[in-house]
Structure 1
Amino acid sequence: MSDVRSAWPVTPLAPQVVVRVERAMPELPSEIESRVASHWNAALAKHPTLYNGRVFCADVIEAEIIRGHWSEYRRVLAQMREPDLYGTDFLRPLAVVGLFRTTDGIVIGQRSEHSLYLPGYWQGAPAGNVESRDGEAQIDLAAQLMTECLEELGVSEAECQIGRCLLACEHPQTHIVDAGMEIATELDFEALQERCSRLGNAEYQTLMLIRPDTPLPSPLVPTLAAMLEQNR
């Protein structure tokens, strides 16, 4: 865990951590706004289906509460392309990441080589930005993870159960913060693979079953390493 902590800072979270919106999205200086627009337009040229939705960005992360504000995805993407864009006022976009247990082990996914973020890396599945899909003001991390589960793996709410929050882990360059959470299903790995290939959205180029004696693949997102170590 020490290597993970030094590379990606880890904050333990309470099992039912509260996420709260506490301020409005700040205005950007015109020069920075212009650079955001430039990064966004360049990304759209390569990925025409990109959507500029509302994403939650953390201002303060504590064990019991995460405080922050709604921002635009295009601002987050611009920071991914230009990490020093906002100086010391960098964004910390919050994402949910599952530690997914089937009846025969833990399932992890290898991100698509076409992903904008960490292509080819192995991570906990499902995973995705904390978004405002229906204009909601309140943030329910379990509901966010459940939506990702259905979209990425094709597993419905009736087939899995969201458990406790475990930890938050921050990427030091992009400042994306993963909130790791437990999730379990009565499906076995073979059934999950079939469901993902038939109903999932191709977020992962492959899934892998992890048992206690399974060597971990590489490269591995440190959030996953931290969650696996906490659950030994």
Structure 2
Amino acid sequence: MPPTRSEWPVTPLKPDVVVQVGRSMPILAADLEARVALHWDAALAKHPTLYNGRVFCADVIGPDVIRGHWSEYRRVLAQMREPDLYGAGILRPLAVVGLLRATDGIVIGQRSEKSIYLPGYWQGAPAGNVESRNSEVQIDLAAQLMAECHEELGLTDAECQVGGCLLACEHPQTHIVDVGMDLTTALDFQTLQDRCHHLGNAEYQALMRVQPDTTLPEPLVPTLSAMLERR
């Protein structure tokens, strides 16, 4: 069954919410490490280009501050495949998601059918894990979203403006926490679509323009529903 809006807990965020590293990555017991390795090897067999980078996981989420720790993507992926893997010590990987306002409407994207996470779902665009790109210690959510603009949509810094944070929305099964953020561009939908097709990384199999009278497609990632309620 597709996830529904009511199943995903939403936390309103201050526009300038701060993300802090509160502890180091915990050491896993040997049996857990073995389970993680099994899941990672199985995933690599299907998706050879997977990269085990550092991703930020939230421990505490509040309107003003999100506090957590850096972890490994392979640990997050193992939890996606086996949700109860860590028991009470669940990982809550943080992701940024844009509510992209073009000159002629809000632009959303349909995830590729090849995606590991929610293939075929419509979501805010762009979106991606909060990750360590240059061994940084501090987490800059605006910079994280801008990097996704480059990678997924082929946009430059001069073509989009990252606004404030709106909300945090957690997937109850995978515990991925989307941070919805305002995003504005002076480009129109057709230009965005062409740019994504020619310069994007094929994260989306389709883009769609949403206007006040638009019937929304299905299935929707509940984070998108929550953000659209605030448009």
Q: Where on the TM-score scale, by shorter chain, does this alignment land: which range?
A: over 0.9
Query: Within 5 Å, which residues of 2 pair with 1:45-64?
Result: 45-64=45-64
Report the Cα offset of residue 4 of structure 1.
5.7
Aligned partner letter, 1:70: W
- Provide the residue aligned with 2:229 in structure 1: 229
State the one-letter code of the partner of 2:117: Y
Amino acid of the residue matched to residue 49 of structure 2?
Answer: T
CA distance in 2, matches of 1:153, 1:6: 30
**Correspondence for 1:142:** 142
1:144-178, Cα deviation, whole Å (9 max, x unpaired)? 00000000000111101000100000000000000
Q: Which residue of 2 aligns with 1:120?
A: 120
Q: Tell me which residue corresponds to 2:130.
A: 130
Which residue in the other structure is 2:156 paired with?
Answer: 156
Letter in 2 for 1:166: L
Deviations 1:96-127 (A, max 9, x none): 00000000000000000000000000000000
Question: Matches of 2:11 and 2:199 in 1, distance apart?
Answer: 34
Q: Describe the superposition over 1:67-124 as per-residue Cα deviations: whole angstroms up to 9, x where unpaired.
A: 0000000000000000000001100000000000000000000000000000000000
CA distance in 2, matches of 1:98, 1:40: 29
What residue is the counterpart of 1:207 in the other structure?
207
Alignment partner, residue 171 of structure 1: 171
How far apart are 1:230 and its partner, in Å? 1.4
- Aligned pair count? 229
**Equivalent residue, structure 2, for 1:181:** 181
| Residues 38-89 of structure 1, C-alpha deviations (whole Å, 9 max, x = no match) | 0000000111110000000000000000000000000000000000000011
Q: Aligned residue for 1:44?
A: 44
Give 1:228's aligned amino acid.
L
Q: Residues 4 and 45 (structure 1 numbering): CA distance in 2 closer, same or farther, change over 3 Å?
A: closer
1:92 corresponds to which residue? 92
2:56, 2:70 within 8 Å by CA — same for their partners in 1?
yes
* Runs of 5+ unmatched residues, structure 2: none
Q: Could you tell me the TM-score, scaled by structure 2's length? A: 0.98
The one-letter code matched in structure 1 to 2:107 is V
1:230, 1:125 → 2: CA distance?
16
Look up the match of 1:191: 191
